[in-house]
Amino acid sequence: MNAPVVRRVPLWRRPAVRIAVSAVILALLVIALPFHELVEALRRMPLWSWPLALASYLALHLIGIAKWRLVTNTAGAGLPFRVAARAYYAGLFGNTFLPSIVGGDVVRAGVALRAARSKSALVLGSLVDRFGDIVSLAAVAAIGAVLSPRALDDRSRAVFISLGVILAAAGVVGLIVVTHFPVRKLPFKVRRKLVHVRRALRATARRPQAIVAAIAMGMLLQGLLVVLNYVLGLTIGIDIPLYVWLFVWPLAKISGLAPLTQGGIGVREAAQIVLFAPFGVPGSMALAVGLVFEAIIIIGGLAGGLIAFMLGRGDPLFPRAATSAQAT
């Protein structure tokens, strides 16, 4: 008998490596910046502000649940709100504790899979929702750039232009693939499955207003998260206009999507320090507010997992959708 083939996981995809890279980046930032200033900034956070910030963070993600459900249901997934909420909060846990943000997306789709009328619609809707999140972040950053006369210095301009080029290239490549993909050359079984994908695409294309609404909801969610960080910044002593946050925070979050560290930890903080520098924000304060929000994200991920567990109690298996719609 042939020995089973063991697939080696690439080094950069191993959680231990990602956690180590995050720890190294944070350690280098702490060493490079005045430690006493960092500690002093963190001490300005009163104890009562932590549960309030956490509750705000979790409540704001109700917008995210509604947005994701809108997009997936537009494609034909047919998810009830409770199922969408459970899946979304489970994904929030996965975003923090699984390798890269894709881990959270996989968890979210997996939890909702049994209740979806169409698996293809669920997967397609999730992909559209993720791309819409990046577009929403870029749009919020663009608003901040317009409002801030000093937002686009040389470094910030390079980041902003690079993001625009990447989004445009992704859109062009996606359009080319969809319009020129040689479907007829694929095996029959694959083509049969692609029929369901095509139905989901057509259902989504028939309701462009739903996609526009989802992007608007994404911008609202990201904008309110910016406001939350703005308030946290004021608490520790960062007194700069909100429009600066509208520019800096989304770009720092986008930089954290790179599959280099665990949940973007370390990369976001480093990017935030660099982007805040032209506005006179000390690196120690930029790191402090980044660490505070990072702690809220981690605790929020744990709370999201607990919420998902509680929402699933009493439902050992999600009921399948109406039999009139076959799961693909």
For the purposes of burial, counting CB atoms within 10 Å of the CB of 76, is it exposed (0-12), middle (13-18) or buried (19 or more)? buried
| pTM for the full predicted model | 0.79
In the chain, the percentage of residues whose pLDDT exceeds 90 is 31
- Give the residue from 85, 96, 79, 90 showing the smallest Cα distance to 63: 85
* Residue 125 pLDDT > 70: yes
Predicted confidence at residue 131, as pLDDT, reads: 83
Predicted confidence at residue 318, as pLDDT, reads: 44
Of the pLDDT bands very low, low, confident and very high (cuts 50, 70, 90), residue 326 is very low
Q: Say which residue the tokens 């993001």 belong to.
A: 163
Distances (CA, A) of 308 to 54, 70, 94, 211: 16, 19, 11, 26
Each residue of 84-113: pLDDT tens digit?
999 999 998 888 776 555 567 788 888 888
Predicted confidence at residue 161, as pLDDT, reads: 63
